[in-house]
Structure 1
Amino acid sequence: MTRRFTGWFSRGGLRPHPELDRVGRPMVNLVVAFGQRREQVPFMIDTGADFTIVAPRRARALFGSEFDYNAVPSGRRLPIAGVGPGTVDTIIQPVGMLMTDDDGAVFRLSQTMLFAVPRTGAAGHWRVPSVLGRDVLRRFELRLSYDPPTVSLILND
């Protein structure tokens, strides 16, 4: 059985100049489930990223604004570079992921992800997209075309 999960190309808002924003970013929606909380997260597909990283504003929605990063055991914390300005603190957390295919059927998988810790006052940090990395992408066939513009993840069960 072949299942298709269709995405889209996103433009605007992240580039320093409008002329640099002509090439769209391939995106796909997933629902991330943590405990009783669920959050639909638009992920930018990044074949150069080793790991999937949930952006700060989505991490806050899942963990809540009262979340205390310092209470997380040191073995579940990881500082990384390449997500927004400077180094970003992340939390390593197993979660559930829900994807709806083009026929409306839900596909569930378990995945350990990195969650970027929200940092007050870092405006650029809040605008970065969540990144769908190779840890998740390796389960799918990625079809990407700019002409015509199409983004899809294919799962062959």
Structure 2
Amino acid sequence: MAGADVKVSSQTATRMLQALSAAGWGCHQIAAEIGGHGHHISELRAGNQDLVKQSTASRITAFFRAREGSPNTGHGAKRARAWAMKQRWHTAHCWDDIVTDRHPKCRDQCFGVRDIDEKIRALNAKGMPDTKIAQALDRTCSNITFRRRAMGIPAVRKATA
């Protein structure tokens, strides 16, 4: 069939989308740039599709290569990074089969859940509330609250005047 869009394995596209999320790129931002739908990108990123059209995989690869090493700091970036952290997705610099050590370009983005938990525990012990911890670690407040509760650490109460 001439001109047909062949289906290929989605594994590479899924991994690239997960790395983009860890760098702060949301599904709707990616979809707007590559000409797709946010829901489709979300399903693909979650690994819910075994196959993807070759043209879609090519557009994802081009988007990934153009933004590799440049984290998103715009609207929705913190939310995308928080979701990636919850899912334990890392930037491409941290892929185990590509590099064995944390890459210096991604520094804090490469922190695993244990590293973040240790930082949350330490800052909480210093009397810092979740909002300040979130600012210090460049995370969302809801992410910090979720991690703190999962560790069984009580919230720091704001001082009353």
Task: Name the TM-score class by shorter chain.
Answer: under 0.3
Report the structure, 1 or 2, having the larger helix content.
2
- TM-score where L is the length of structure 1: 0.23
Report the structure, 1 or 2, having the larger strand content.
1
Q: Which has the higher contact order (CA 8 A, sep 6+)?
A: 1
- TM-score where L is the length of structure 2: 0.22
